Structure 1
Amino acid sequence: MSSKAQTHPKPHPQPRNNANASASATAPVDVEQAEAALVEHYPRLVRIAYLVLPPSLGRNRRVLTAHALAQRALPRGRKSADEVVVPAQRGARERERRNGDPGYAYVRLRVVRTALEAGLPLTWKAWPKRSQLPPLLPQVRGLRLFPRSGGSDELDLDQRLSALSGAARAAYVLRGLERLDDSDVFDLLAAAGCADPGDALAEADDVEAGYELLESPEFDPCSLHARPTDLMRRRQHMKAAGVAAAAALVCGALLGLPGDGWSPDGAAAPPYARNPAGQAALDPGKLTTAAAGSWKRSARTDFSVWPARGDLVGDQALLRRALAVWARPGESVQVSATPGTPAGAPPGPAQLLFAGDVDETRVVLLYDGLRIARYAEPKEGTSGAALDFARVDGATGAEANAVVVSRADGNVRYLTAPWIGSAAVSDLLKPAAKALPLHRSADGVTDPFASPATARECTSWNALRLRDNSGTVRMSSDLGELVPAHLTSGRPGAPREATPAQWAKSACSLASVRSHGVRSVNSWAYARQTLPEANGAAAWVCTRADTWQGGGSRILAQFQTSGPTGAVAAKAEDSPACGSRDPLVLAGVLWKSRAGNWYLLGAGSRDVTSVTASGGERVSGHVLAVRTERGTRARLSGELADGRKVSTLR
């Protein structure tokens, strides 16, 4: 290890027994608050679970168990705030926002507790705990998943951690990854059920610090490699199943024949006949290309009029490899596809969009009318090739303005459409700052810039701003997919091109829809409300993320005050609410004034004519503010002018 050992004061801290400490030993946590913390910090919580779990489980089961423990960290049912308590946390400087959040402290405690339980040996004297058994969900059939391999330092640290007890591993991880001091580690381990936290801290002292290695991809169970399971055994099982199925099919067909033998198969080709279209799809000479200036004469602004660009469009060997991998990806190829995107071979000759050198890789972009396929291989050899798919059916205008050509070291490069005149980058969290011009090559490939798709903390959010030849500026965000999501704002029926100021307080919410096949995200300030006791004003904003596959939309209602970000008031999935089909939304929050008084606030869209709380309070109009008590779980309902009822977003 390159880092020197870190010393810790002896003896290790003891439990706080004074009256003041016991009075603040717990803090109430709302279920929604814990859920919001889980969504925001999910990769960090899974990493903690992965590091605390015993390495003897094997990397595949360790990955799946870590995800299962994080996903089960929420309390069962919908408990009131007073029923869910966690040890008090003492946030400090860089960790204050995270560790000072009682919702995050609660789910972290649950993750650590269940990870420690998973390492306990099974005995005949007691029923096994749920965490000690292989997870029911998530499950992956036919593949083994494991994090990327690190260097010798990461391997050495992993071996040292495997020699520790589960509690000592947890102590080391909480010190290094969470930056907790020993007193907070002691209290958290005690709350997690550790019999002797002091011994765990002392045992963790024997491992050299190297805390920065805990952030390594070696220990990131959210960034994974996939490999097949035992192929020979699978093939044997599949052959046996196939023989049995064929025998059953033949017997059934013979029983159903009228007596004159086999009937014809209609227009179907004879068995094992070659499909000419499928064969043509693998021939690089059959790739289609658009003329260089066809987009200027076409009424369409989609991928079909993109010309083929790049310095390797004539490299037939590269194109042949890309098409062959598309049809039959080998075991060493990393294949990914956004949700709802088929990953099969092209139905016929595809269109070539780009082939060229980008950074240290050779990249080929292909389009088959439904999908964009990106093939990438190292400049030296083909080991480590990657194949990515993204669904883009019906893409036009802003949705066909750019495609990712490269990701490296947290940066992203785009190939822009031929009708783009200039490119820039804007940090949505700094709307007053001037957009930074983004240089592009002659082929339309941008310089790299920091992508928010892999950022662990929401300290900035770079958006791509593209100005087309007509002068229209459109804004998109990288959400970890080949095609960036188009950002708009305004009423769902008539959204407008967004500006950074309209997304400044909603940008961080985009983290919850990364890698979900998102096509566009609209931010709609559906209501504004004057806060009680002259505490200023607030805005109610609904963000709706629509996907390429149509279903699976995600909706968030946010309550935004003068702070830098908004608070999630309600959310829903796969709902027409806040969209063009149903532009209605209603949400509520508990809010505390500067004087310490609690209020139930609620707001609906303009079509809501009255709002009623479950306590009987009713106001005309679409906003509500009534005094209440902390921890109240009131429900809101709204009414339209025609008498129809509107419920809160869920």
Structure 2
Amino acid sequence: MWGRGGRQAKGTAARINAERAEAALMEAYPQLVRIAFVALPPALGRHRRVLVAHGLVQRALPGPLGAALPAAGGPPGDPADPGPKPEYAWVRERVLTACLSYGARPRRWPRRLPWPRALRPALPAVWGLRLFPRAGSGDTTSLDRALAAASAPARALFALCSLEDMPKEAARELLTRLGTPPDAAARRDAEQLLYLSARATADLGNASEFDPCSVQTRPTDLLRRRRRRRLAGLTAALLALVTISVLPATSGDGFVGTPSAGDAISADLAPVTDAGRLVRAPGDRWADTSRVDFTAWAPRGARVDDTELLHRALAAWAHPAPGTEVTSAAATTEELPATPPALLYAGDIDGRAVVVLHDGRRIVRYTEPSDGDGTAALDFARADDADVTTAAAVVVSRTARQVRFLTAPWIATAERRDLRRPDTPARSVRVARDGVTEPVARPKYGDCGARPALQLKSSARIVEHHTFVVADLGDLLPAHLTYMPLPGRERPRPPREATSTESLRAWAASACGMSGLRGKGVRSVSMWDFARQRLPEDGGQAVWSCRRADTWRGPGDIEVGLRRPEAAPDADTTVVARDRDTAACSRFGQHVVASTRWRSPSKKWYLLAAGSRAVTGLEVTGDVRATTEEPTLARRAPKDARTQVTADLPEGEQLRPPGSE
């Protein structure tokens, strides 16, 4: 019998036998390692994630063997998962617990101090090699990017459902029993991961990209390793000489030397520091490929053949010298790639030598003073799954007042415009033969003044009449701006470029709020006008909009606002709701509802609410009660009234405003 809390009654507990647990682990070792590999954070990097997955599974046996589990079937509280044997279920729980807690600090451990080495999980020892799972298809690559953005409970929930075929409810109960109950966001992320897995061409259990037991190997940096061996030998000889000379004067006391910090061997070194192995795309590849992104950039700049400069850039990537300023965008690793990167640019800009590289997942910019007086800098930014717009420009120089862009080879013309002045025509920007623009003004974030943006036009060789807008938000890659107009009666309208008069006026009202997006690795920002409402007392028209900022790592932040179309072009939008790390206002969250207080010309306060196109009705509860079968609502309400707005959807579901849950 089972007592409270899922514990087996005294006298009937079946103890796990160590030999049977080891046999279960060995029999299902590839499956357990795959579960650990999927559940671990991808930010570890492929090499370390492979080692950690093997290490956690191999360390699943030590500990308090003899935990009470039923003699057959799944663990208590898991009636929907009767398949696994008790020993396998126990080992699987140990592995999942280790994955969920990996990287977390011990309780009461100071936030800024690292894990003590004694508490870090031991890994298998691999010397002189880097391990990488085999490359997968484009669909599994998209799944891997989504895993990088998901939380640990979401990854664990996905691993159980996809690899173990466990029912969702049973998987949630298992994680809850392990002390990590998946919240609503984790369940939503897991659903998205399951959708991407179902869309993949291969089953996840057979996908080579997620198989840490079938890996490729590459050596570490051979030249640097040889230099370090020579340096270690020289250091040992010097230490021996010093020891011999000091021994007579030490009266028999021993002498202990401190090794230099330069003797440490980096685990991130890879055979990519040879400038002669850099990938160089043909000059016209961008016009003869269906993949118009950074892989189609040909190397440009006056120093693309400067082997010494390119070698210094690669060496700085492998092992930055002391004093090198290294910055990376959110969720961007700094490890070397498995294969040589591609060279995009090498030249002198504003007194600094600049090298731009691309490894298929990241853009890396190396800069150093042209005259040798000053410090070098190394910047990393994610660029996976870039396209004709998000791979259209890279920031190559930025000062306090201006910025220069390196435009893609398919950019025919460049113009600058002020988002705060939508009626002012765009002005031409000079672009050099190597693709570098003249200096363009940066926004002054101290006030809501000008908001410069770059308007680019693609060559007719790839697409006709394609003009789009990007904005510098403090990262290596500018953000792509789009606009989705009010829905029509027939069907939703797709997003479009923010170049029309209507879209520029919408952006003018929200441009000042973009200051909060600086330095967050934003890939694109979309403005969606989802509802129009007539205000009470002949107050005119109001437009409800949702501005979504998508990051390169996946999650996005939103702001819902209300603006008056008849107001001045630079009148600011009134922000009524915000939410972080949400799917709302995207193709995975196509419904939205919001509410706010509004003061009429007669000084009376109203509650305004509006929903997107699919909303079939609104309900207000609390201090004010009202219902309507329309997507908008306006009711008299005190300014400080407490209310809750709920929207009805055709499928019978209900929707609440962003941030209300």
For the aligned pair, the TM-score class normalised by the smaller chain equals 0.5 to 0.7
Segments ≥4 residues shifted beyond 3 Å: 136-142, 244-249, 265-280
**Correspondence for 1:389:** 380
Amino acid at match of 2:530: Y
Contact 1:463–1:477, Cα closer than 8 Å, also in 2: yes
Query: SS where residue 575 of structure 2 aligns?
Result: strand
Aligned length: 402
Residues 1:636 and 2:645 aligned together: yes
Residue 314 (structure 1) shift? 1.2
Deviation string 1:450-477 (CA, Å, 9 cap, x unpaired) is 123x622221111110001123101111
Residue 383 (structure 1) shift? 3.1
Amino acid at match of 1:631: D
Gap change, CA 1:378 and 1:607, over 3 Å in 2: same
Deviation string 1:52-108 (CA, Å, 9 cap, x unpaired) is xxxxxxxxxxxxxxxxxxxxxxxxxxxxxxxxxxxxxxxxxxxxxxxxxxxxxxxxx
Query: SS where residue 356 of structure 1 aligns?
Result: strand
**Correspondence for 2:601:** 594
**Correspondence for 1:623:** 632
Q: How far, CA to CA, are the matches of 1:584 and 1:545 in structure 2?
A: 17
Contact 2:533–2:541, Cα closer than 8 Å, also in 1: yes
**Correspondence for 2:521:** 517
Gap change, CA 1:584 and 1:271, over 3 Å in 2: closer
Q: How far, CA to CA, are the matches of 2:540 and 2:363 in structure 1?
A: 48
Equivalent position to 2:563, from 560, 567, 572: 560
Equivalent position to 2:466, from 469, 472, 481: 472
**Correspondence for 2:201:** none
Q: How far, CA to CA, are the matches of 1:515 and 1:476 in structure 2?
A: 15
Contact 2:484–2:496, Cα closer than 8 Å, also in 1: yes
Gap change, CA 1:246 and 1:473, over 3 Å in 2: closer
Gap change, CA 1:623 and 1:137, over 3 Å in 2: farther
Amino acid at match of 1:577: A
Residue 550 (structure 1) shift? 1.2
Contact 2:471–2:480, Cα closer than 8 Å, also in 1: yes
Amino acid at match of 2:497: E
Equivalent position to 1:487, from 481, 484, 488: 481
Deviation string 1:553-596 (CA, Å, 9 cap, x unpaired) is 10110011226011111111122211111211111111111221
**Correspondence for 2:576:** 569
Gap change, CA 1:326 and 1:625, over 3 Å in 2: same
Residues 1:291 and 2:282 aligned together: yes
Q: How far, CA to CA, are the matches of 2:617 and 2:373 in structure 1?
A: 64
Residue 343 (structure 1) shift? 1.3
Amino acid at match of 2:276: G
Gap change, CA 1:519 and 1:138, over 3 Å in 2: farther
Q: How far, CA to CA, are the matches of 2:580 and 2:310 in structure 1?
A: 40
Q: How far, CA to CA, are the matches of 2:109 and 2:425 in structure 1?
A: 46
**Correspondence for 2:244:** none
Structure-to-structure mapping, 1:339-488, within 5 angstroms: 339-381=330-372, 383-452=374-443, 455-470=445-460, 471-488=465-482
Contact 2:219–2:270, Cα closer than 8 Å, also in 1: no
Gap change, CA 1:381 and 1:272, over 3 Å in 2: closer
- TM value normalised by structure 1: 0.58
- The Cα RMSD (Å) is 2.9
Gap change, CA 1:246 and 1:429, over 3 Å in 2: closer
**Correspondence for 2:3:** none
Residue 494 (structure 1) shift? 2.1
Contact 1:570–1:587, Cα closer than 8 Å, also in 2: yes
Gap change, CA 1:405 and 1:626, over 3 Å in 2: same
Contact 1:412–1:450, Cα closer than 8 Å, also in 2: yes
Residue 141 (structure 1) shift? 5.0
Residue 278 (structure 1) shift? 5.5
Gap change, CA 1:137 and 1:593, over 3 Å in 2: farther
Contact 2:281–2:298, Cα closer than 8 Å, also in 1: yes
Gap change, CA 1:353 and 1:137, over 3 Å in 2: farther
Residue 139 (structure 1) shift? 5.5
Contact 1:278–1:347, Cα closer than 8 Å, also in 2: no
Query: SS where residue 527 of structure 2 aligns?
Result: strand
Amino acid at match of 1:435: A
**Correspondence for 1:10:** none
Query: SS where residue 321 of structure 1 aligns?
Result: helix
Equivalent position to 2:530, from 510, 526, 537: 526
Residues 1:311 and 2:324 aligned together: no
Residue 382 (structure 1) shift? 6.0
Q: How far, CA to CA, are the matches of 1:473 and 1:416 in structure 2?
A: 14
Query: SS where residue 305 of structure 2 aligns?
Result: coil
Amino acid at match of 1:490: M
Contact 2:222–2:271, Cα closer than 8 Å, also in 1: no
Q: How far, CA to CA, are the matches of 1:505 and 1:246 in structure 2?
A: 54
Contact 1:493–1:579, Cα closer than 8 Å, also in 2: no
Deviation larger for 489-498 or 593-602: 489-498
Query: SS where residue 532 of structure 1 aligns?
Result: coil
Residues 1:604 and 2:611 aligned together: yes
Gap change, CA 1:419 and 1:544, over 3 Å in 2: same
Contact 1:428–1:503, Cα closer than 8 Å, also in 2: yes
Query: SS where residue 522 of structure 1 aligns?
Result: strand
Residue 643 (structure 1) shift? 2.4
Amino acid at match of 1:620: E
Equivalent position to 1:506, from 488, 503, 510: 510
Residue 487 (structure 1) shift? 0.6
Equivalent position to 2:541, from 537, 540, 555: 537
**Correspondence for 2:323:** 332
Residue 300 (structure 1) shift? 1.7
Gap change, CA 1:560 and 1:420, over 3 Å in 2: same
Contact 1:327–1:346, Cα closer than 8 Å, also in 2: no
Q: How far, CA to CA, are the matches of 2:344 and 2:332 in structure 1?
A: 19
Q: How far, CA to CA, are the matches of 1:411 and 1:568 in structure 2?
A: 29
Residue 386 (structure 1) shift? 1.0
Q: How far, CA to CA, are the matches of 1:411 and 1:281 in structure 2?
A: 34
Q: Structure 2 regions of 5+ residues with no counterpart?
A: 1-107, 126-212, 226-267, 486-491
Structure-to-structure mapping, 1:35-434, within 5 angstroms: 140-141=112-113, 241=118, 274=222, 279-381=270-372, 383-434=374-425
Q: How far, CA to CA, are the matches of 2:110 and 2:278 in structure 1?
A: 39
Query: SS where residue 360 of structure 2 aligns?
Result: coil
Q: How far, CA to CA, are the matches of 2:218 and 2:318 in structure 1?
A: 22
- TM value normalised by structure 2: 0.57
Contact 2:367–2:377, Cα closer than 8 Å, also in 1: yes
Residue 247 (structure 1) shift? 12
Gap change, CA 1:396 and 1:609, over 3 Å in 2: same
**Correspondence for 1:497:** 497
Q: How far, CA to CA, are the matches of 2:340 and 2:282 in structure 1?
A: 17
Contact 2:272–2:337, Cα closer than 8 Å, also in 1: yes
Contact 1:280–1:286, Cα closer than 8 Å, also in 2: no
